Amino acid sequence: MTAADAEPPRRPAATRRHVMHRFLGRLHEVFEEVSTDTAWALTPEELAECLCEAYAAQGRLAALTLGLVAQADRSGLPAYDGEVSLVAWLRDRVRLAPAEAKRQIRLASRLEHHDVTRRALGSGAFPVASAAVIMQALDALPADVDPTVIEEAEAYLAGEAHAHDSQALRRLAAHLHEVIDPDGADQRLAEQLARAEAEAARQCFLQLRHDEGTATSEGTFRIPLLQGVKLQRMLESLTNPGRPDPIESVDPETGVQVSAEERRGRAFLELIDRIPTKKLPELGGSDPTVVVTMELGTLLGGPQAAQLDTRHAISPGLARRLAAQAGVIPAVLGSSSEVLDLGRQVRFHRPKQRLAMAVTQGGTCAVHTCTRSAVGADAHHLIPWHEGGPTNTADGVLICPRHHTFADHPDHQVIRLRPGRIQIHRRC
């Protein structure tokens, strides 16, 4: 039995007493006669008219529906049908989620007291979302506002709703005080913004969830507007295609266009990596540091996974790459779990050494086919540091993060072509 079969049969429209009851019955009877299967036969002019009329009908039906909801709330319909509330009735009879049912009941109640908006919605002049914006704006007015001013504000917003979508209407509603009280608009706006900013500072939060299985972290956050705009500007600077080493707009492996969202995500990663730990407060008596624990065999090319100090596992390849970077301390363990190496700082090339390598390489990545900028590139030891390789300009090169991934991977080998130029290819 389908959900449709489970519904009780409708009473024929011709036998219904009340005009509204009869109209809705006729409406469903007509619905049985029409289908979008033949919409292909409509001309562009007919299709446009159908769309406009269908959306207008939605608004008119919404006004009718909300009027019925308000009547049901007044008349005690839920108790008549053995339900504890109208929310429960709407959930059980029309499958509305409780949150949506509550929203519609509130809107129906408010529309009962605002004839201008209710009649405009009932004429199909604008969608129900715009009516909800108008009600929210009127509810937000101070309690001491004169009723006449409220009527003027409603008339203004209802008029604007004829010409603007609900999003634009919401922006107009945010400045409603400028319409109802032009003289005190600046003061009211200042007070409103101050309250909103104080509330935003109290309600900011950030939640992070780490998933070892997918090797990802995700979360949600809410921050004040000013800090949000600052974050946006930082990401815009990092996604700027005019920078020396721009974030690629096309994936080099697949040739697929990288979406704006993905580019912002990669910019966010870079922003995190760019934050110098020396600029942050100490944590536990030292700079905030991620410790990667690995077996000696992993550092020498073995397949054993490494572990962050949060107990999350990471791949051996990533662990070896981190061992060559500043800001992460590799803790290398021997067979008895004794610490053999705790990431001495001498393994990292100094600024002057990096500058000399950049000059030797002509300002680009050391890989002979790569044109990415050496600015911000990783310093790589041609003779691995853990194998005794010196931290100097003769045995070091600057390579972009992408090629550094290959350089440290056991399936690839690095060949020195000449000073400042290398080649990376897969081992046979």
Per-residue model confidence as pLDDT tens digits over 198-256: 888 899 999 999 998 898 999 999 999 999 999 999 999 999 888 888 888 888 778 88
Residues 120, 125, 128, 129, CA torsion sign: negative
**Percent of the chain with pLDDT strictly greater than 70:** 88
| Residue 114 to residue 135: CA distance in whole angstroms | 9
Q: Residue 349, class by beta-carbon neighbours within 10 Å (0-12 exposed, 13-18 middle, 19+ buried)?
A: buried
My answer on whether 313 and 397 are in the same domain is no
Provide the pLDDT confidence category of residue 4 given band limits of 50, 70 and 90: very low
Asked whether residue 157 is assigned to any structural domain, the reply reads: yes
Q: Helices H, strands E: what count in the chain? A: 18, 11
The two tokens of residue 304 are 């054993």
My answer on whether 353 and 337 are in the same domain is no
My answer on whether 47 and 79 are in the same domain is yes
The DSSP output letter for 292 is E
Provide the pLDDT confidence category of residue 281 given band limits of 50, 70 and 90: confident
Sheet holding 306-308, edge to edge: 313-314, 306-308, 290-295, 328-333, 339-342
Global confidence as pTM: 0.48
Provide the pLDDT confidence category of residue 183 given band limits of 50, 70 and 90: low
- Domain containing 1 equals 1-31
Indicate the residue among 343, 358, 377 that finishes a domain: 343
Asked whether residue 203 is assigned to any structural domain, the reply reads: no
**Percent of the chain with pLDDT strictly greater than 90:** 40
My answer on whether 22 and 137 are in the same domain is no
Q: What is the mean pLDDT of residues 35-42?
A: 90
The DSSP output letter for 283 is B
My answer on whether 47 and 194 are in the same domain is yes
- Specify the pLDDT at position 326: 45
The two tokens of residue 208 are 């992070």
My answer on whether 2 and 118 are in the same domain is no
My answer on whether 136 and 79 are in the same domain is yes
- Specify the pLDDT at position 102: 94
- Specify the pLDDT at position 55: 92
Provide the pLDDT confidence category of residue 185 given band limits of 50, 70 and 90: low
Tally of CB atoms within 10 A around 89: 22
For the ranges 136-150, 156-170, 414-428, the maximum mean pLDDT occurs at: 156-170
| Residue 195 to residue 175: CA distance in whole angstroms | 15
Asked whether residue 309 is assigned to any structural domain, the reply reads: yes
**For residue 109, is pLDDT > 90?**
yes
- Specify the pLDDT at position 328: 46
Nearest 5 degrees, angle CA 361-CA 366-CA 370?
110
| pLDDT higher at 165 or 282 | 165
**For residue 267, is pLDDT > 50?**
yes
Asked whether residue 93 is assigned to any structural domain, the reply reads: yes
My answer on whether 21 and 126 are in the same domain is no
Provide the pLDDT confidence category of residue 161 given band limits of 50, 70 and 90: very high
- Specify the pLDDT at position 345: 43
My answer on whether 127 and 171 are in the same domain is yes
- Specify the pLDDT at position 96: 93
Asked whether residue 374 is assigned to any structural domain, the reply reads: yes
Q: What is the mean pLDDT of residues 84-92?
A: 93
* Total domain count, the chain: 4
| Residue 294 to residue 319: CA distance in whole angstroms | 8
**For residue 152, is pLDDT > 50?**
yes
| pLDDT higher at 339 or 12 | 12
My answer on whether 163 and 46 are in the same domain is yes
Asked whether residue 25 is assigned to any structural domain, the reply reads: yes
- Specify the pLDDT at position 8: 64
The CA distances from residue 83 to 6, 7, 9, 87, 107, in Å, are 20, 18, 22, 9, 21
**For residue 184, is pLDDT > 50?**
yes
Tens-place pLDDT, residues 390-420: 777 888 899 988 888 888 888 888 999 888 8
**For residue 6, is pLDDT > 70?**
no
Indicate the residue among 198, 232, 263 that finishes a domain: 198
- Specify the pLDDT at position 7: 61
- Specify the pLDDT at position 274: 85
Q: What is the mean pLDDT of residues 351-361?
A: 77
- Specify the pLDDT at position 290: 74
Which phi-psi region, left, alpha or beta, contains residue 76 (left: φ > 0; alpha: ψ -120 to 50)? Answer: left
The alpha carbon torsion through 411, 416, 420, 421 (nearest 10 deg) reads -70
Q: What is the mean pLDDT of residues 376-396?
A: 80
Asked whether residue 186 is assigned to any structural domain, the reply reads: yes
- Specify the pLDDT at position 1: 37
Amino acid code (one letter) for 168: A
**For residue 286, is pLDDT > 90?**
no
Q: How high is the mean pLDDT of the chain? A: 84
Rg (CA), the chain: 33
Q: Residue 167, class by beta-carbon neighbours within 10 Å (0-12 exposed, 13-18 middle, 19+ buried)?
A: exposed
- Specify the pLDDT at position 393: 80
Asked whether residue 98 is assigned to any structural domain, the reply reads: yes
My answer on whether 374 and 415 are in the same domain is yes
Indicate the residue among 198, 216, 246 that finishes a domain: 198
Q: What is the mean pLDDT of residues 66-89?
A: 92
Q: What is the mean pLDDT of residues 375-381?
A: 82
My answer on whether 56 and 15 are in the same domain is no
**For residue 327, is pLDDT > 70?**
no
Provide the pLDDT confidence category of residue 287 given band limits of 50, 70 and 90: low
| pLDDT higher at 138 or 174 | 138
